[in-house]
Structure 1
Amino acid sequence: MGGSPIEILLALIGIAVPIIAFTWEFVLVGRRRLGYRVQMDTPVTGEIESVFPGVLPQLRPSDDGRSPELKDLSVVLVRIENSGVTTIDPGDYAVPENSRVGLHLQFPQRKVIGMAVTELSDSGLGEFLDLGSGIAVREEAGHTGVIDLPRVQLNRGDHYKILAILQRSVGVGEYPAPQIRGRIRGGRLSETASRTGVSRFTVGLIAFLAVVIAVQYAVGRFDTAPSREPLDCAAGKLTVVGSTAFEPVVRQAADSYRKLCSGSEFAFAMEGSDPGLGRLDEEGKNNPGLVAVTDGAKGVGYPSLRARPLATSLFTMIAHKDVGVHDLTLAQIRDLYAGRIANWNQVGGADLPVRLVNRTHGSGTRDTFEHRLLTEPQPVYPAATCREVRYTAPPSPTHCDTALTKDMLKAVAETPGAIGYAESADAAKTSGIVPLTIEGHTATRESVLDKTYPFWGVEYAYTNGDLPAETLATAFLRYLTDQAGKDVIRSATALPCADLPNPALCQPYS
């Protein structure tokens, strides 16, 4: 089958909807349908009586030989018809079994002073409409005249008409439209229109099909037009190593690429920026199936590695949920990590000792943190694990290092008084921690662009030397930087380097 999936879907919809609509309208709901339409609703003015003397008195019912004064009269003709495709039997009227009446023809603000059955499509209908059938005239509370109509059997296309002479009982101006009250089992009672012209159902169906055709045409034009960003698919296997902070974004982009390009396979071994660079340096020569992703530039010692900027990544300071602080100044962050602030009550928080959590040396996230926020080297703290810090009372060790992003988030969430830092999207999804604003500014793409938020870095992809154009690594990196992979980066709150108004921002520590 040719055509794009969208075109195929639209074609199926264009076929299915008319079939469903026809089945619903004419087989399910429309199979048993009782219709009515008001063919005439005309006031009788005093001018008629003056031109043709005696007409109105002839219409008046007798009342013990006396004719009451009649004025504000009207004549209404209503057609009741079987507008469905199957017979309506007396048992199809939704009324108690012992009731002879099936419908109620109502005239709000008018009372009935005379009525007659004026037309039968079949003379056999007369037996359902004689004096013993239950047809009657009455008035309901609220000044509403009513003609009770019997349970008439109507074959397909059958109809009868009711002519009523009415007098206004209350109100002024135009009369409210006549109404029929009742229910049909397994069908419906509805007002019908003249059979001339095209029905609203048909017009709606034609309009729907026209929209489907127009969308198919537009999709076809779009699919056949040259793409501004053609997707280069390549087969093979690619192993990605490096930053744990950017790992969720790379994994999501790889899943998206794999769905579009069959034959592509991805593996991940994310253990931190520096370990990733080390592995790429040792194993990546003449190996186009290995790529490293880092938070920041590679540093010294890797002369053969080639960089490609991917995106600016947002980081945030995080703290344990009970510290009672939601914002820090740059000076307070520096004092905390320099050991000059030992308790959170010194910055307006709870009476809790400060427990510092860092990433290990060689982490790209730690390098970004120290370069962007600190102005002096951190003190050398006694070696301790985060578990030891968690359960040791001050002034014992209050500092620990974590190797991975997930370890940082876990340590801060489980250690009362802890403070650390992490990629902002990961922090937002972790319970037990509080992301901290910096001098009132939140980690957003806009705050990076207007230079009000200081804690961000550049994510790089590294290869060992230049790669052949036909490899999966080349195609995937192009997908991330120039094609639909940019949408994945944006969805993770990062900012693709290609979107920056000033490309220099994507240089290390610009």
Structure 2
Amino acid sequence: MKKNLLAAFSFVLILTLALVGCGNTNTQPETKTSPESNVKNEEGKESASGSITAVGSSALQPLVEAAAQQFAAENAGAVINVQGGGSGTGLSKISEGAVDIGNSDVFAEEKEGIPAEKLVDHKVAVVGMGPVTHPEVGVKDITQDQLIDIFTGKVTNWKELGGKDQKIVIINRAQGSGTRATFEQFGLKGAEPIAAQEQDSSGTVRKIVSETPGAISYLAFSYFDDSIVALSLDGNEPTQENVETDAWKIWAYQHMYTNGEATGLTKAFIDYILSPEIQDTLVKEMDYLPVTGMKVERDAEGNVK
């Protein structure tokens, strides 16, 4: 009797296992999308996916952030992390391979200790930069020599320039900032500014200048707003048109560096920023200049041709 029960139980167990196996014959193994693969979106077009990080220039940061938002809206599987920190940080991090893109206001060749030969330069825009003041200093146009005198400490009161009887308060960007390097090279003609308060962020600089009587600093055009006054130099206004012809000297290329040739999502995002869709709309709307709009070129040594 026991043998019959055991045989029956064994038959039922084998039959059950067989049926379960037959039921799973059409089941496919789970698959995962590659971090930098392309999938189809709702319109049937290829959609980039994955996650990358871009770090560096705060002057370029607003454009990259805006482009990243649009790119992510069009590519639901893509995540673009954008951080500031300054051009020096961007170049160091991309050289170390710690990030996917290093944003910079300056050529990699200009930064000591950066292996520029290992990096690939993608010039995505041009940005104008200029001196900005607290709105009540009473000065709107100075000469470049006067600008140099301010930042080297030779002029210390706005009344010396026809403004208020008010002490000049200098706000500098931190060492390693591409904005600072560009301003010192082309705005101060290489002169070394006096020691002053330093800030890491362009946004913070704008806030401090707008709230500090007598303050002066420098910002990219994309940070200009009604809370500050942008100074003219030698009668030339800080405009895109003047940058294009080099009538306004304080400008720089906006670089997105990669460690070797860009691939995958990194390449897709850089190509997106360089596309007419972004160059002809977002770049201009945010007070940057398309590279193609420049009537002059500048090399890593600062020579214009």
Q: Normalising TM by the smaller chain, what interval?
A: 0.7 to 0.9
1:501, CA displacement in angstroms? 4.5
Q: Note if contact 2:231-2:238 (Cα within 8 Å) is conserved in structure 1.
A: no
- The answer to whether residue 197 in structure 2 is matched with residue 400 in structure 1 is yes
Alignment equivalent of 2:278, drawn from 473, 485, 505: 485
> After superposition, where does 1:94-493 map in structure 2 within 5 Å?
233-284=47-98, 290-298=100-108, 299-303=111-115, 304-381=118-195, 399-428=196-225, 431=227, 433-468=228-263, 471-486=264-279, 487-493=281-287
Q: Note if contact 1:312-1:506 (Cα within 8 Å) is conserved in structure 2.
A: no
Deviations 1:386-443 (A, max 9, x none): xxxxxxxxxxxxx211111012112212221111000112122x52x21111122222
TM-score (norm 1): 0.47
Structure with the bigger RCO (C-alpha within 8 Å, sep 6+) is: 2
Indicate the RMSD between aligned Cα atoms, in angstroms. 2.0
Structure-2 separation of matches of 1:376 and 1:245: 20
Structure 1 portions without partners, runs of 5+: 1-230, 382-398
TM-score (norm 2): 0.78
Deviations 1:169-195 (A, max 9, x none): xxxxxxxxxxxxxxxxxxxxxxxxxxx
Q: Note if contact 1:320-1:414 (Cα within 8 Å) is conserved in structure 2.
A: yes
Q: Note if contact 1:257-1:476 (Cα within 8 Å) is conserved in structure 2.
A: yes
Q: In proportion to residue count, which structure has more helix?
A: 2
Structure-2 separation of matches of 1:506 and 1:478: 22
**Equivalent residue number for residue 13 of structure 2:** none
1:454, CA displacement in angstroms? 1.5
Structure-2 separation of matches of 1:465 and 1:488: 27
1:483, CA displacement in angstroms? 3.7
Q: State the AA in 2 paired with 1:281.
A: S
Q: Note if contact 1:497-1:506 (Cα within 8 Å) is conserved in structure 2.
A: no
Q: How many residue pairs get matched? A: 254
Q: 1:352 to 1:232 in 2, by over 3 A?
A: farther
Q: 1:379 to 1:491 in 2, by over 3 A?
A: closer
State, as a whole percentage, how many aligned pairs show the same letter.
30
Matched residue SS, 1:234:
strand
Q: State the AA in 1 paired with 2:113.
A: G
Structure 2 portions without partners, runs of 5+: 1-44
Q: Note if contact 1:481-1:498 (Cα within 8 Å) is conserved in structure 2.
A: no
